[in-house]
Chain A
Amino acid sequence: NAGVTQTPKFRILKIGQSMTLQCTQDMNHNYMYWYRQDPGMGLKLIYYSVGAGITDKGEVPNGYNVSRSTTEDFPLRLELAAPSQTSVYFCASSYLGGQGNQPQHFGDGTRLSIL
């Protein structure tokens, strides 16, 4: 029972490099999310998706891109890495339930440093 799986767990990038953070879930959830977590700042939503082919900006989308070609996968792309993007990135998923909003299930994060 894997849940939400994120790869890689750690990465160091140089300024200006690009990379893709991978996220996959095996719970058949419609909704998926990307957050960044900075010390003392809680979790800030970068992008989210309500289903395959549909993505929307969250609170802090600048410098990132996403795609959702399948229900299971929701990769996050950094095109030109900047020091301000040093953070811990979390992917989450949830389903659409009859009672209203539902819990989000989180992966264990990708720790990204940009030097």
Chain B
Amino acid sequence: GENVEQHPSTLSVQEGDSAVIKCTYSDSASNYFPWYKQELGKGPQLIIDIRSNVGEKKDQRIAVTLNKTAKHFSLHITETQPEDSAVYFCAASKFGTGNQFYFGTGTSLTVIP
């Protein structure tokens, strides 16, 4: 099956700086890549996603890039704020598999005021 690796496992940045989280996947047939944010005591919440026919997608301070050749995708958060502190998960999926997601192991982001 699919194997998704995520780095780093922890990340600390100063408020206002940028944060980048990287994921790699193994199955070249994967074509949907969501990112989730999980706050303490809550379930994961979708923050952005990208499909394999697109190389980059942006939503205000959040962007995701995808390199299909290298089989990696990244989450970029600019102008970080304390409320961005959370655990972030990447995932990979391919059509026709019951919409199964394969998750990375998570990145704990701390934004220092």
Residues in A lying within 8 Å of B, measured CB to CB: 4, 31, 33, 40-45, 48, 50, 56, 58-59, 90, 92, 94, 96, 99-109
| Distance from B93 Cβ to chain A, minimum over Cβ atoms (Å) | 5
Size of interface on B: residues with Cβ below 8 Å to A: 27
Q: How far is the CA of A92 from the CA of B101 in the complex (A)?
A: 11
Contact of B51 among A44, A99, A109 (CB under 8 A): A99
Chain B residue contacts of A96, Cβ below 8 A:
99
Does B41 count as interface, using CB distance less than 8 angstroms? Answer: yes
Chain B residue contacts of A90, Cβ below 8 A:
43-44
Contact of B43 among A48, A103, A109 (CB under 8 A): A109
Q: How far is the CA of A33 from the CA of B73 in the complex (A)?
A: 24
Q: How far is the CA of A48 from the CA of B99 in the complex (A)?
A: 9
Chain A residue contacts of B104, Cβ below 8 A:
42
